[in-house]
Amino acid sequence: MSQPRSDDGVEARAAALAARLVPQVPALARRVVDRIRAEVPGFESLPGEVQDLEVAATARSAIRAFLQHAQGLPGSRTGLSEERAVQRAEEGIPLAALVQTYLLGAEVVVDALAAAAGPDDAAAVLHLTREQLRAVGLAVTRVAEAYLAGAADQHVAVRELTWALVRGERPEDVAARYGLPLENGYLVLRVRAAHGGDRQAARAALRWVLARTAPRAGGRALSLRDDLGGFVLLPPSFPVEELTRPASSGDAVPVVGVAPAAAPADVPAAAARADRIAAVAGRPGIHRLSDVLLEYHLTGPLDSAAEVAAVLEPLAGHPDLLPTLVAFLGADLNRRGAAQDLGVHANTVDNRLERIGELTGVDPRSARGIQLFGAAIAVRRAIS
């Protein structure tokens, strides 16, 4: 019987060393995520669930596949790394940063192998280090190809479909051409860089929103960049109010105007409304029409008259409240004068004003409430 080659002994030791790391895979994946978060620019802006769940799952999959290979065990490719690469492209993470994550993962694995090695395992560690370098080289090649192909194809298709939806130019034809689905309706986001800014700030603003929406939208987010930031179209049930919760310190939160479109044909009008909402809001955060209703109504065509008048709807079932509000404003905010006009005590006026604030969510004694209710009463008179 021939003597076993020395390589067989090294491979056996390498397999045994790899097996010792298998129970550590979850901890190693967490270490990789921590290193990526601390050292790779751009990844800290990804939502916490992407960092802690998606990136960690990709790291676990890659480490486990390598250890299986090192033990001579069969493994199957899931395509998870390539899928994540396309997602990172959609979120605006640079390819160089994505490649860096794989190099950091390799460092973590090699460090763990060295820590777990015994005094006679030097050759096994060297063997596994070489195997890890080969594995990372292959993974980076596949990931880069997926990133570039996905980024190019997805960018063109998404840009054209978003453009067609925003402009109302037969989006169904564009969707059919690229095999993309059309939603029954959309939540239209107009993204602007806070406090103005240059083109770089505009791009950063759009990336900020995409990083927080694309992973949660399940591939259903559409986007279109422009010099101010851009548009993002989401499924109508997307919880957009959660975008800024929580926000890490130093986050450059953009200005986002939000308007719903009940159907694809309604997207152009919703895009125009979202654009104006963002313009009149002017401050970082997520803004719907209700948040800037008075400013919106006073700064352009009066397509918001119905919404302004609707501010008074919660008072409909309370016959004493609207007359009290009218009397209060008519008395130049003098509660005693309003009480005299109504034939009630001044405390009754106070109680009714408090109730009006509870029902409508707008304090009639605040500067904004005075303006908004005054406008609502005027519009109601004009259209009734």
pLDDT at site 83 = 76
Please enumerate in sequence order all residues whose Cβ is within 8 A of that of 147, keeping only pairs 6 or more positions apart, or say none.
85, 86, 88, 89, 95, 98
C-alpha to C-alpha distance for 81 and 187, rounded to whole angstroms: 30
Instruction: From 104, 131, 152, give the residue that closes a domain.
Output: 152
21 with 50, same domain: the answer is yes
Strand blocks (E) in 226-383: 229-234, 255-261, 285-287
Q: Residue 27 pLDDT more than 50?
A: yes
- At 43 the pLDDT is 72
Q: Is residue 298 part of a domain?
A: no
Give the mean pLDDT of the chain. Answer: 84
Q: Of 152, 172, 194, which residue constitutes the final position of a domain?
A: 152
The stretch 4-22 carries a mean pLDDT of: 80
Distance CA 43, CA 56 (A): 13
As a whole number, mean pLDDT of residues 158-176 equals 89
In whole angstroms, give the CA distance from residue 294 to residue 277.
11
User: Which secondary-structure segment (H or E) carries 275?
Assistant: helix 267-281
Better-predicted residue by pLDDT, 7 or 330: 330
Which of 377, 315, 382 shows the shortest CA–CA distance to 352?
Answer: 315
Task: Determine the Cα–Cα distance for residues 348 and 344; give it in Å rounded to an integer.
Answer: 6
DSSP string, 318-378: -TTHHHHHHHHHHTTT-HHHHHHHHTS-HHHHHHHHHHHHHHHSS-TTSHHHHHHHHHHHH
314: CB partners within 8 A, 6+ apart: 359, 360
The reply to whether 170 falls in a domain is: no
Rounded CA gap, 248 and 373, in Å? 36
Percent share of the chain, pLDDT over 70: 86
For 82-100, write each residue's pLDDT tens digit.
777 777 776 667 788 888 8
Q: Both 142 and 72 in a single domain?
A: yes
What's the pLDDT at 47? Answer: 64
Q: Do residues 268 and 131 both lie within one domain?
A: no
Read off the pLDDT of each residue in 46-62 and give the average, rounded to a whole number: 77
pLDDT in tens, 196-253: 667 788 888 888 898 888 878 877 889 888 888 999 999 999 988 877 654 444 457 8
Do 282 and 316 sit in the same domain of this protein?
no
CATH number at residue 372: 1.10.10.2840
Number of domains in the chain: 3
Range of the domain at 201: 183-291
What is the spatial distance between Cα 162 and Cα 224, in angstroms, rounded to a whole number? 6
Contact between 93 and 43 under an 8 Å Cβ cutoff? The reply is yes
Give residue 57's pLDDT band: very low, low, confident or very high (50, 70, 90): confident
CA distances (Å), origin 384, targets 256, 290, 301, 314, 326: 34, 22, 19, 17, 16
What pLDDT, on a 0 to 100 scale, did the predictor assign at position 189? Answer: 96
What φ, ψ does residue 232 adopt, rounded to 5°? -130, 130
Tell me whether residue 252 is in a domain: yes
Check residue 297 and give its pLDDT.
Answer: 76
DSSP-derived letter for residue 54 is: I
Q: What average pLDDT score do residues 131-143 get?
A: 88
Least confident of 36-50, 101-115, 343-357: 36-50
Amino acid at 32: V
User: Is residue 25 in some structural domain?
Assistant: yes
- At 234 the pLDDT is 94
Give the length of the chain.
384
Q: Is it the case that residue 358 has pLDDT exceeding 90?
A: yes
pLDDT of residue 152: 58
Tell me how far apart the alpha carbons of residues 110 and 94 are, in angstroms, rounded to a whole number: 25
What pLDDT is attached to residue 381? 59
pLDDT for 102-117, tens place per residue?
Answer: 899 999 999 999 999 9
| Residue 340 clears pLDDT 50, i.e. is over it | yes
Q: Do 148 and 14 fall within a single domain?
A: yes
pTM here is: 0.50
Cβ contacts of 109 within 8 Å, gap of 6 or more: 21, 28, 63, 66, 132
Judgement on whether residues 146 and 14 belong to the same structural domain of the protein: yes
Predicted pLDDT of residue 264: 95
Residue 321 reports pLDDT greater than 90: yes
Are residues 190 and 258 part of one domain? yes
338 in the same domain as 243: no
Query: Using CA atoms, how far apart are residues 174 and 60, in angstroms rounded to an integer?
Result: 38
17 with 148, same domain: the answer is yes
pLDDT higher at 350 or 49: 350
The bridge status of strand 222-225 relative to strand 285-287 is unpaired
Q: Tell me the residue type at 151.
A: A
C-beta separation of 270 from 259 below 8 A:
yes
**Looking at the structure, do residues 14 and 136 belong to the same domain, yes or no?**
yes
Is 371 within the bounds of a domain? yes
